[in-house]
Structure 1
Amino acid sequence: MAAQIIEFARRPGFGSYGRATRVRANFFEVTSLPDGSIFHYDATITPDVPPPLNRRVFQQLEAKYGPTALAGARPIYDGRKNIFSSKNFAFGDAYTFEIILPEDDGAPSGKRPPRAFKIRIKKVGEINMDELHKFLNNGGAETSNCLTAYTALDVLIRYKPSLQHETVGRSFYTSAGAMQISGGAEIWQGYYQSARATMRKMMINVDLSATAFYRSGNLVDTVVSIMGCRSPDDLRRGLQERDRATIERAIKNLKIRVIHRGDSPASKRKYKIIKLTSTPATHTRFDIEGTTQDVATYFQEQYRKRLNFPYLPCVVVRKDVFFPMEVCEIIEGQRHIRKLNDRQTADMIKFTCQNPNVRANKIRQGLNILDYRRNEYLQQFGMQVSDEMALVPARILPPPRIEYHPSSRDAIFAPKDGSWNLRDKKVATGATLGSWSVVVFGPETQFPSAAVQAFIRELVVTCQDTGMNIPNRTPPIKHHNPQGNIEEILKQMWLMAGNTAKAHPQLILCVLPNVGIPLYAEIKRVCDTIIGVASQCIQGKHMMAAKKQYCANVCLKMNVKIGGMNSFLSTNQLPFVTERPTILMGADVTHPSASDQSRPSIAGICSSVDAKASQYAAAIRIQEGKSEIIADLSSMIKELLRNFYQSCGRKPDRIIFYRDGVSDGQFAEVLKNEVEAIRGACQGLESQYKPTITFIIVQKRHHTRFFPVDKRDSDRTGNCLPGTVVESDITHPYQFDFYLQSHAGLQGTSRPTHYRVLYDENNFNPDTLQTMSYNLCYLYARCTACLLCAFGLPSCTFSCTWWKLE
């Protein structure tokens, strides 16, 4: 069974439903691939150093031994283990070279000796490019030889930029056009490259990226930026210990050069900041020739330099080696690895949020930097890349017809451009809210009782206008300190809600003073895991305005939280789901940050519980951190299948499993383990229960972007229209995959979703699966927009972005 599962589903054909069009995609065709074999070598460099230094060692090797031991080849190196060459090296299967790497600051060897490295190169094998040609033309399997060829082509297109620019992952970055932000940082424009196997050809996916770097220049200017001051004069009174600690955390481990010894490279020695002194330069003393002297006096006597900022602490680069901040320059090209604060994040969004025309033009500009045509490494391997962005066929699927309560005006309608409003519409099934309470996290001076009551009145009227029933129009209200005991006040409000209505509490409405995460997270933790009651958070600034549109949005969220249904699609819009009992599932695993080794990962699954696929249940588990496989999937599936049976009175005949958050290299492992877990869960409920399963990977973290060719095929932001499908030219040579851009663009360039069908016992044809996946996106209950989050996939952040922008 396992071997059968790992064979991914093949494309059953191509769809025809929808209006045909063409779009530009940020893919560039490889017009000429290497014909002969590519020779693969393994490199081991000792001592172990970071990739940038490894590349310098390899360059030194190439300069010294290129004409001899390397047989005149211009090999390429990934900075870690892999070397690829168009020629067989002359030394045989293995050889160890000794390389002397001089210091790059020109320091005399007597002061700082050059570093010695050993690099052992061992032949791994040869890549037969004929196998790749056969695979691309659907005449052969995707062998390990093909996978190694992808790696070689990736290294080839990135090698020259890695020597010329700062490299992070698959992107390289340039300081040209950098945007300065707070905290001594700046945002650099980056260019992503990846070699992709597509139908009958290899393509290079080129996209924009951005990341923060530390701003180069004088260290004092960086300190001023970190502290949010206008000039160094604002620091003349010296630093409080708290401020000193803040600066030390921000600049620790930064590389600097000193500028007080002259302008020659040998004089501008390089160091790494270890920490800051606890005293200013005027009071930081060190031993010299049997006496002690402060740093400020030493610089005055030794270098005839009177310090401009003696009141600032000194940087420590070695034990008892101190430098005043003003003689230190931050070296360019150091990535800002610390988490960006809210202001920096907002600046990053502003920098990266570019409409499709701007993004497409910047990608084309990036090709001038990449300069594939004059890349001597590509030329040596015989590889050529087109500079024209791919023009690919696409189709635009029509939107489904959405149904609201029959008493609504236009109760059944087709949305335009992926969004609509609730004007004169009532939710399909309005819930009754009788037992609830309101807690305002902030003093009455900030949120007056009259304003709170006015908002509650507007909210109640709006909810009733949209079809909810709220017999208790005056819930108990209480103000509370947001820094106080959150759990205690929520328990009190739960009791007040129940006592007032003489019924089990249904919901606690929470007014928040800001958009900070800690308070929101604590409210959800307490309500969801301790009290067991629904919570609805709103921002205080929106409450003070009490706009009807905002109240309508809140109403949508409240209605589904207490058992209502906002809208649905008629049965003929989802024939595959409605003609036979079918359960839809969406799953993801959320991981802690890479630096956090203690926290677990969280696995979540949502599944439909009704024939209309409009209501969903959830199952959540914690598991070992960083593991992508859902560990307790079998019991979660059993739980959700029981929910479906209790709601519908039928066991589902078919399971459609949308799986998020899986990278290409994890497909086989996830498929094998999780399909077996789903089957095991079904048979654990009943030995003969064997529903048919379709397992689909949903990828959103990729670099594919589409740009409309015809203006009539674009929305108001210049993005492709919702429903745009691309299933050829840039897709897999023969596996069943397609791109679907289902949502309307709000700002920037929209990202299509990549669907990869790995396993399909339901024998979908492309039109059925594409239409079903698109139509389901219109069932997102929390706002009136077509969104991928119809499945409640935990890692999909588009809904969060939408909600913040409303």
Structure 2
Amino acid sequence: MSLQLTELPLRSDRGTAGKQITIRSNSFLLESFGQGNVHHYDIVIDGDQKSPPALNRKVWKGFEDFYQQGQESLRNIGAVYDGRKNMYTFKPLKLNDEKQLFKIDIQGKEHRLQIQKVAEINMMELQRFLDKKGSLTPNILTAIMAMDIMIRQMPSLTYPAVFGRSFYTPQEKRLLPGGVEVWQGFYQSVRPGVGKMYVNVDVSATVFYQSGPLPELVTKILGRRSLDELRRGLHDRDRHKLEKILKNLQVETNHRGENNRRKYKIMKLIPSTPDKTTFETDDGKKWTISQYFQSNYNLRLKYPFLPCVVIKKDVFVPMEILNVVSGQRYMKKLDEKQTADMIKFTCQKPHVRSNKIQQGFSLMKYKENPYMQHFGMKVKPEMHTIQARVLQTPKLSYHDSSENATFAPKEGAWNLRAKKVFQGVILHSWSVVIFTSGLPKPVIDKFIRQMCETFISTGVNVTNRNPPMTNANPQGNIEQTLKDAYMKAGNAVKSAPQLILCILPGKGVALYAEIKRISDTVLGLPTQCIQSIHVNQAKAQYCANVCLKVNVKLGGFNVQLPKQQIPFLSQAPTIIFGADVTHPSPGDFNKPSIAAVTASMDARGVRYSAATRVQENRVEQIQDLEGMVKEHLKSFYRASGQKPVRILFYRDGVSEGQFAMVLKEEISQIQRACASLDKGYKPKITFVVVQKRHHTRFFPIKPTDADRSGNCPAGTVVDTDIVHPFEFDFYLQSHAGLQGTSRPTHYHVLMDENKFTSDSLQELTYRLCYIYNRATRSVSLVPPVYYAHLLAARARFHRRGDEWSDSGATSETQDAAQQLASYAPVNSKLNSVMYYM
């Protein structure tokens, strides 16, 4: 039966551990979805599969009006169209042939629309899948896609900005720095559950360019108070920055009056200004752009000092005749201030978010939606109520000399008062580099004293409390500075250096990145960076957090779970992996993607080894997983003297559409890695995909079932109703809420040779979330995956060259092979310590 249903493990049982609570989810039950057939048609407009959805929808609207005059209205058969190539109806269209061509006139221009029937979908097949009586066929995927398009049809006709499953409206927006603004929107998608279909509705937000006059946007992008500050002209650096942000932005002309606005895309900016840019008209007369606009449009330019904009080949215009068209998405990476402001806008307490979701549900007008009525789709107007469970908090152990050394935390968090780390290191060979001139020596001395006292009280023994200090220029030769500090650390106590502590002037990325590149790839020595603001304050709590990081970087560990809490790890040699692939920011098709894999090296799952690889841009599969797994298995053997007989592999960053690829490619790479070490070596593998990028949220119903942030408590697990109809998956909210609405993590098992029960995998995963090495609270993501995130982010800094400067020009001038070669490998001395913490 399992072969017939799915390649993946089936859910063998429901979990029963923990305390039962009733919660709401932002899933709305689809009470019915019609039992007839859905007809699927392929649409091609103007012979091109890639024409833009906005144009396609106009042509489609023209086709609807045209077909309306025929025997049967398209609207009466509920035709829905996705704006690209798929169209669905609940009654067949009357076509003359299998493939029919229509000519549609839109504003005097003829468009060709070709329509061809491709399939008929029996909706009963979908119900069989939901009832565990049939597997997930391409037909069922098409049926779900058709329903998705049915619920999207109305918003796509009503709202200005629609991207995929979300639509946005400028009614509720907030300005961000840098000429952009965040709009609130709503997300909706149809999802299968156990025996039923659900509509998942959520609040979403995305960033748009601010619309209006282009010169105003320019001042905001460049962070100036007014255009007057640019009267002396633009530096090349500013112009490059502008061009990077404005390229391909849609603008419209404003100098010919309201009814004669033409739209263009910005191709580039030229260094020359309108009063210095000349051209010749057909009659041989020479003009500057400023003169031309004065003469032809009676327009005296207010900002002739701004560079000209190229809107067509050899067509240069002044900036002030252009307005930015509303509703254009900003796809570049946000800076720190923009990100902070965006978080403030999107961070909503659970009760506020659930009210907003209910508002979004009303905006979608499912009840009045004629398309859904034609297809027999009816959605229940209240959020779905689910039976969830709250798993018991695990016990944690610190060093025996701690007060109350083994204890169960309350509400997912605890503090280090009177606690000593489980295994502290001895710190004797270290030095301090001060990259800021704003700190008097007594202030630094006081901070180092406070740091040493906190380290010792927390269980890290500092034998040299007067480390050598170096004052350094943050713009100087960082590599030489760190090499000198390395030598000073070693010479002071005549032993191998362990750590360089760097005091930085602020949050600037460039200096931090260069320090990490040199320490990780050249010196092979951990560094700990501290901002000068913390040195001034010298707070014990801050020093304790630094201590947790330093202890782990030097090979110690902070906290562990007693053996009886983690039987899967303690009963037999077991290795836990965490893996992630991170990609460069959207629109960057040059920089490589980075694969990071971490793996435990002991029976407690607390110390991890590290491996990273740079690979081709946006390749989701981990290309050298075999090599990375091999390295980790060797590290485990060196650390414990045993070969793992069980592998638990948590893989992040994989969508449902990629499960088959992971199953086929990555799991076989793990098996090959084992066999390459010894032909007969076949540890049992459990492979779990970890997903954070989803829109499922949980809301407690009773105040007594909520934590102090109003969220469901840490340990809330859901494996009923809204999960897969029969595969082994669950949602786990493993952390206590801090602000906003918590996002549970979705775990989906792709292979399970270790035969986990629901309870055993859910409880192990939850307990591991309490031993994340740099926090005194449970975290939202299983730690090996969290470490893989940190590791991948760190590897971005290992690129040689001017990568972190404002211009960032180097990445665009290199091809893919040069890009890959520009990343330095991590010094092998660091592979078995958690240097990236």
TM class by shorter chain equals over 0.9
Q: Give 1:283-322 correspondences, 5 Å limit.
A: 283-287=276-280, 290-318=284-312, 321=315
- In 1: Cα distance, 2:103 partner to 2:233 partner: 51
Q: 1:328 to 1:569 in 2, by over 3 A?
A: same
Who is 1:782 aligned against?
A: 774
Alignment-derived partner of residue 475 in structure 1:
467
* Residue 30, structure 1, aligned to residue 30, structure 2: yes
Q: Counterpart in 1 of 2:81?
A: 77
Q: Does 1:154 align with 2:160?
A: no
Map of 1:68 onto structure 2:
70
Rounded Cα–Cα distance in structure 2 between residues aligned with 1:688 and 1:274:
60
Does the C-alpha gap of structure 1 residues 55 and 527 become closer, same or farther in structure 2, counting only changes over 3 Å? same
Given the two structures, how large is their TM-score scaled by the length of structure 2? Answer: 0.89
1:373-522 matches, within 5 Å, as 373-442=367-436, 445-522=437-514
CA deviation profile, 1:89-111 (whole Å, cap 9, x unmatched)? 21142112222322xxxxxxxxx
Determine the C-alpha separation between the residues in 1 that align with 2:235 and 2:791.
42
Stretches of structure 2 that go unaligned for 5 or more consecutive residues are 794-836
Per-residue CA deviations over 1:256-298 (Å, capped at 9, x if unaligned) read: 33333333x3x23333334446455455554455534445455
- Give the counterpart of 1:99 among 86, 89, 104: 104
Alignment of 1:87 onto 2:91: yes
Q: What's the counterpart of residue 185 of structure 2?
A: 190
- 1:69 to 1:81, Cα distance in 2 relative to 1, 3 A: farther
Q: Is 1:257 aligned with 2:252?
A: yes
Q: Is the deviation greater in 743-752 or in 517-526?
A: 517-526
Which segment is superposed worse, 586-595 or 314-323? 314-323
| Secondary structure class of the residue paired with 1:26 | strand
1:32 and 1:652, CA in 2 relative to 1: closer, same or farther beyond 3 A? same
The answer for the alignment partner of 2:261 in structure 1 is 268
Q: How far apart in 2 are the matches of 1:5 and 1:539?
A: 55
Question: By how many angstroms is 1:236 displaced?
Answer: 4.8
> 2 CA distance for matches of 1:320 and 1:622?
40
- Measure, in 1, the Cα distance between the counterparts of 2:24 and 2:140: 27
Q: Cα offset for 1:512? A: 2.0
Q: Distance in 2 between matches of 1:27 and 1:209?
A: 15
Q: 1:674 to 1:366 in 2, by over 3 A?
A: same
Paired residues for 1:217-366 under 5 Å: 217-236=212-231, 238-240=233-235, 242-263=237-258, 265=259, 267-276=260-269, 278-287=271-280, 290-318=284-312, 321=315, 323-366=317-360
CA–CA separation in structure 2 for the residues paired with 1:70 and 1:651 = 71
Q: Assess, with a 3 A threshold, how the Cα gap between structure 1 residues 475 and 50 changes in structure 2: closer, same or farther.
A: same
> Residue 629 of structure 1 aligns with which residue?
621
- 2:9–2:750 Cα contact (<8 Å) kept: yes
Aligned partner of 2:824 in structure 1 is none
Deviation, structure 1 residue 741: 0.5
In percent, how many aligned pairs have the same letter? 50
Q: CA deviation at 1:19?
A: 0.9
Q: Which amino acid aligns with 1:211?
A: T
Task: Please report how far the alpha carbon of residue 55 of structure 1 lies from its aligned counterpart in structure 2 after TM superposition.
Answer: 1.7
Which residues of 2 match residues 165-184 of structure 1 at below 5 A? Answer: 165=159, 166-184=161-179
Task: Write the distance in 2 (CA, Å) between the matches of 1:495 and 1:6.
Answer: 60
Structure 2 CA distance for partners of 1:582 and 1:318, relative to 1, 3 Å: closer
Alpha-carbon distance, 1:347 to partner: 1.9
Q: 1:436 to 1:238 in 2, by over 3 A?
A: closer
Alignment map for 1:494-643 (pairs within 5 Å)? 494-643=486-635
Instruction: Tell me the secondary structure at the aligned position of residue 740 of structure 1.
Output: strand
Question: Paired residue for 1:136?
Answer: 130
Aligned twin of 2:210: 215
Q: Do 1:6 and 1:668's aligned partners in 2 also have CA atoms closer than 8 Å? A: no
Deviations 1:61-90 (A, max 9, x none): 222124538763342222222111212121
In 2, distance between residues paired with 1:405 and 1:369?
56
Equivalent position of 1:205 in the other structure: 200
Summarize deviations over 1:586-625 as a string: whole Å, max 9, x none: 1222233453334333222222221222222222233333
Cα distance in 2 between the residues matched to 1:256 and 1:155: 30
Task: Give the secondary-structure state (helix, strand or coil) at the position aligned to 1:100.
Answer: strand
Contact kept in structure 1, 2:78 and 2:89, CA below 8 Å? yes
Please give the secondary structure, in 2, of the residue aligned with 1:566: coil
1:111-164 CA distances to partner (integer Å, 9 max, x unpaired)? xxx443322222111111110011111222212211111111122222222233
CA distance in 1, matches of 2:71, 2:476: 71
Query: 2:560 and 2:753 mapped to 1: Cα distance?
Result: 27
1:701 aligned to 2:706?
A: no
2:651–2:785 CA contact under 8 A, matched in 1: no
Contact 2:580 2:789 in 1 (8 A): no
**Separation (CA, whole Å) in 2 of partners of 1:279 and 1:527:** 44
Deviation at 1:368, TM superposition (A): 2.4
CA contact 2:582–2:792 (8 Å) conserved in 1:
no
Q: Contact 2:596/2:791 (CA < 8 Å) preserved in 1?
A: no
Q: CA deviation at 1:780?
A: 0.7
Partner-residue secondary structure (3-state), 1:618: strand
Deviation of 1:708 after TM superposition, in Å, equals: 1.4
Q: What is the aligned partner in structure 1 of residue 44 from structure 2?
A: 44
Q: 1:525 to 1:325 in 2, by over 3 A?
A: closer
Residue aligning to 2:816 = none
Q: Distance in 1 between matches of 2:733 and 2:88?
A: 38
Match of 1:645 among 637, 641, 659: 637
Give 1:732's aligned residue: 724
Q: Deviations over 1:657-710 (max 9, x none)?
A: 111111101112202222222223333333333222211111111111111112
TM-score with structure 1 setting the length: 0.92
- Amino acid in structure 2 at the alignment position of 1:188: W
Following the alignment from structure 1 to structure 2, what is the Cα–Cα distance between the partners of residues 567 and 318? 63
Superimposed CA distance per residue, residues 7-65 of structure 1 (whole angstroms, 9 cap, x where no aligned partner):
11111111111111011111111112032111111122235422221222222222212
Distance between the aligned counterparts of 1:798 and 1:355, measured in 2? 31
Cα distance between partner residues in 1 of 2:122 and 2:733: 37
Q: CA deviation at 1:351?
A: 1.5
Distance 2:590 2:783 in 1: 32
After superposition, the Cα gap between the structure-2 partners of 1:797 and 1:180, relative to the gap in structure 1 and judged at 3 Å, is farther
Cα-to-partner distance string for 1:491-517 (whole Å, 9 max, x where unaligned):
222222112121111112122222233
Separation in structure 2 between the aligned mates of residue 475 and residue 122 of structure 1, nearest angstrom: 77
In the TM superposition, residue 715 of structure 1 has moved relative to its aligned partner by 2.1
AA aligned opposite 2:19: R
Gaps of 5+ in 1: 103-113, 801-805
Shift of 1:239: 4.5
The letter for the 1-side match of 2:62 is: Q
